[in-house]
Chain A
Amino acid sequence: MTEEDKILEEVTAAEYKYGFTTDIESDKIPKGLNEDVIRIISQKKNEPEWLLEYRLKAFRSWEKMEEPDWANINYEKPNYQDIIYYAAPKQKKKLESLDDLDPEMKKTFDKLGISLDEQKRLAGVAVDFVMDSVSVATSFKDNLADLGIIFCSISEAVQEHPELVKKYIGTVVPTSDNFFSALNSAVFTDGSFCYIPKGVKCPMELSTYFRINEAGTGQFERTLLIADKGSYVSYLEGCTAPMRDENQLHAAVVELIAMDDAEIKYSTVQNWYPGDAEGKGGVFNFVTKRGICHDRAKISWTQVETGSAVTWKYPSCILKGDDSIGEFYSVAVTNNYQQADTGTKMIHLGKNSKSTIISKGICAGKSEGSYRGLVKIMKGAENARNFSQCDSLLMGDKCGSHTFPYIEVKNKSAKVEHEATTSKIGEDQIFYCNQRGIGTEEAIALIVNGYCKDVLNQLPMEFAVEAQKLLAISLEGSVG
């Protein structure tokens, strides 16, 4: 950039600043997406110049992209010019008491065994006890800070630790990676940031749960997690409680960086509103999740997906380092009219890199579930190993399950195994349980949890118990 250009840019940028002052005060911007909108977002968030550039670059590549349609899902494509991309942190409508809560929602909370106080918090009931959980969160933060761990919102990180954000953002998921990640890179408004210093084993499960207390999650969430050399972290995302959101479109990006000898365990339980039994409403969830493993590093993705009307999600690992390990454990449940196209990509670059894929799909109602996975062994990946197991469980005869495994091997020493099964919950199994005094709903829960055991075992204990209950609830009424 010449000196002249720089000046020119400063001047033009400045003009935008002033030009939109009134808008800042009203804290609302018009619908639609263009460079001006991105400048406003960046400005409102008081971001440094490089981040604005990053957003604009992403936007420019997004403009040239087509919304992908290769996935096995059908939905009405959103009108991207009909979305408001920035609104000041919305105050959720406060409910006066739990009596105002949607009875269906209340029932689900009860079944999940969520305490009354917690229900109030999740439902956004105005209460003062929240002080408790804030103080808990604060004491957690103090403990973490003593170890040098940074865990905060990405907006905060941009202000407080710009050098880390600048160094790593977009290094695993480039701005031009895909349609949805480009969109996210252009307009993300919040998300999580986490940095674990060299050699530090994070002593507790880091949960977005605590962070959400401070700021609501955005429609375009951005997560950046860096585990420095020899460190360890287990990160939990999501919540088993059903999440309703006015925003139909969600396009999150998660980037994980595991430096030499580091280990990241990333667990997700996702229960966005799936729409009603007729398939109306519901969240579209288009997520790009990817991690990079350096030498001897390990990344495990574990996900339990029960929500969303449409899910498009492939948590992936780039096994760049020698002896690096990538794992993907997934349970994806679809019911009623839900559609899910989910799976993983394991890209082997390093020697002796290993990957394991365990995918368990459960389809009920009139839903469609697909597993789509890529195992790619590059030329230099001597002795790379992969084991994939993709199972599908069907309930009823109106659902569909599909498996699309892609395997590309460019090194002869590689060993790649793929196993797949499709089964139905048999009437025999249900009758057997019935005969032992177990009712049909409980029997299904038992059978499904057994089927998913290999994945649920990967979740932290408490999360696993909640996930089990969630599976049972998601499939209620799907047989008989």
Chain B
Amino acid sequence: MLSIKDLKAGVEESQILKGINLEVKPGEVHAIMGPNGSGKSTLSSVIAGREDYEVKGGSISFEGDDILELDPEERAHKGIFLSFQYPIEIPGVSVSNFIKTSLNESRKAQGLEPMPAGDLLKMMREKMELFEIKKGYLSRSLNQGFSGGEKKRNEIFQMAMLEPKLAILDETDSGLDIDALRIVANGVNKLRSDDNATIVITHYQRLLDYIIPDFVHVLYDGRIVKSGTKELAHELEEKGYDWIIKEADQC
């Protein structure tokens, strides 16, 4: 589904990603862990197509198509979703209006008619239940005055509405208390299927107790220095990153 080969990217002179290789197949959950500044958020931004980052080498293909030349919205239309680490506020735009616009723009790109309002509302209600979201939430201004937890929950709610093929959750656990974390994780698990894939970016192993990954990768200094299964995450939790960093630096 997603195939990243020797990806190099950075901002102006500085190189942040120094040759990333990653294969994600439908149905899989990959976790990407690593210390601060290792390039985790850069990787998610580059996949989503943020223009601040310049790709200096390598390739990213999604379902067989090279996506590096595509605009961020075109990538979104293909089914790539990024849950932001710091969701953005848009004053005066209600959650429901934003989701409606988002959903219908994607449908338009696929040659579909806008979703009838009744269907849309019904779908929103179902998904709201999934994430235990309160009434009145839909008419609030997008992310404005939201608590950290509400913002993250809102990201996952949008993901549920857009039903992406590939979801990248960038530090979705940060700012969530334990109850909210469970609700979000349960929601993500319910959305899992054999056709879609998830990349979970996180500092902590905690989230991975709820969203069980098939693979865990450690990102350090712009490279994936170690890959393994969920046991690797436990090991990291116990021993920290230092031993991997030492291993990597020796290479």
On A, residues with C-beta under 8 Å from B are: 426-429, 431-440, 442, 446-447, 449-454
Asked whether A439 and B73 contact (CB < 8 A) given A446-B98, A450-B141, the answer is yes
Q: Tell me which residues across on chain A come within 8 A of B102, comparing CB atoms.
A: 433, 436-438
A427, A428, A437, A442: which contacts B162 (Cβ < 8 A)? A437
Q: Which 8 pairs show the lowest CB-CB distances between chains A and B?
A: A450-B92, A450-B93, A434-B72, A453-B92, A437-B76, A436-B102, A432-B88, A437-B106
Q: Which residues of A contact B109 (CB under 8 A)?
A: 437
- Chain B nearest CB, measured from A431 CB (Å): 6
Q: Which residue of A lies closest to B86 (CB)?
A: A428
CB distance B106 to A446 under 8 Å?
no
Judging by beta carbons under 8 Å apart, are A432 and B84 in contact? yes
- Tell me the total A-B contact number using a CB cutoff of 8 A: 75
**B50 in contact (CB, < 8 A):** yes
Report the separation of the CA atoms of residues A451 and B90 in the bound assembly, to the nearest whole angstrom.
8
Question: Is the C-beta of B185 less than 8 angstroms from some C-beta in chain A?
Answer: no
Q: For the complex, give the distance between the alpha carbons of A447 and B72 in Å.
A: 18
Question: Is the pair A435, B87 in contact by a Cβ cutoff of 8 Å?
Answer: no
Contacts of A427 in B (CB 8 A): 52
The residue in B48, B90, B158 that gathers the most chain A C-beta atoms within 10 A of its C-beta is B90
Partner of A454, one of B50, B92, B162: B92
B82 within 8 A of A: yes
- Across the interface, which residues of B come within 8 angstroms of A447, CB to CB? 90, 93
Q: Is the CB of A449 within 8 A of B93?
A: yes
Question: What is the interface of chain B, defined by CB distance below 8 A to chain A?
Answer: 48-52, 71-73, 76-77, 81-82, 84, 87-93, 97-98, 101-103, 105-106, 109, 141-142, 158, 162
Instruction: Report the separation of the CA atoms of residues A432 and B73 in the bound assembly, to the nearest whole angstrom.
Output: 10
22 sample A-B contacts, Cβ–Cβ < 8 Å, listed by A number: A428-B88, A431-B88, A432-B87, A432-B90, A433-B102, A434-B71, A434-B73, A435-B49, A435-B76, A436-B105, A436-B158, A437-B73, A437-B77, A437-B103, A437-B109, A438-B101, A439-B71, A446-B97, A446-B101, A449-B92, A449-B93, A450-B92
Shortest distance between the CB of B6 and any CB in chain A (Å): 25
B229 to chain A, nearest CB (A): 30
In the complex, are the beta carbons of B162 and A436 less than 8 A apart?
Answer: yes
Neighbouring A residues of B76 by C-beta, 8 Å: 434-437
Given A435-B48, A435-B82, CB of A451 within 8 Å of CB of B73:
no
Given contacts A434-B73, A438-B101, 20 further A-B contacts (CB under 8 A): A431-B50, A432-B84, A432-B88, A435-B49, A435-B72, A435-B73, A436-B98, A436-B105, A436-B162, A437-B73, A437-B76, A437-B103, A437-B106, A438-B73, A446-B97, A447-B90, A449-B92, A449-B93, A451-B92, A453-B93
Least CB distance from B90 to A in Å reads 6
**Which of chain B's residues have a CB closer than 8 A to the CB of A450?**
90-93, 141-142
CB neighbours (8 Å) of B90 from chain A are 429, 432-433, 446-447, 450
What residues of B have a CB within 8 angstroms of the CB of A431 in the complex? Answer: 50-51, 72, 88
Question: A439 near B105 (CB under 8 angstroms)?
Answer: yes
CB nearest neighbor in A for B141: A450
Instruction: Determine if A429 and B88 form an interchain contact, defined as CB atoms under 8 angstroms apart.
Output: yes
Q: How far is the CB of A176 from chain B (nearest CB, A)?
A: 42
Cα–Cα distance between A454 and B93 once the two chains are bound (Å): 11
- Contacts known (A431-B50, A437-B109); A442 close to B92, Cβ less than 8 A: no
Min CB distance, A461 to chain B, in Å?
A: 16
Q: With A and B bound together, what is the CA distance between A264 and B65 in angstroms?
A: 60
Closest approach, in angstroms, between the C-beta of A331 and any C-beta of chain B?
12
| Residue among B72, B84, B102, B158 facing the most chain A CB atoms (10 A cut-off) | B72
Taken together as a complex, chains A and B put the C-alpha atoms of A287 and B97 apart, in Å, by 36
- Give the interface centre of B52, B101, B162 by most chain A CB atoms within 10 Å: B101
**Chain B residue with minimal CB distance to A421?**
B91
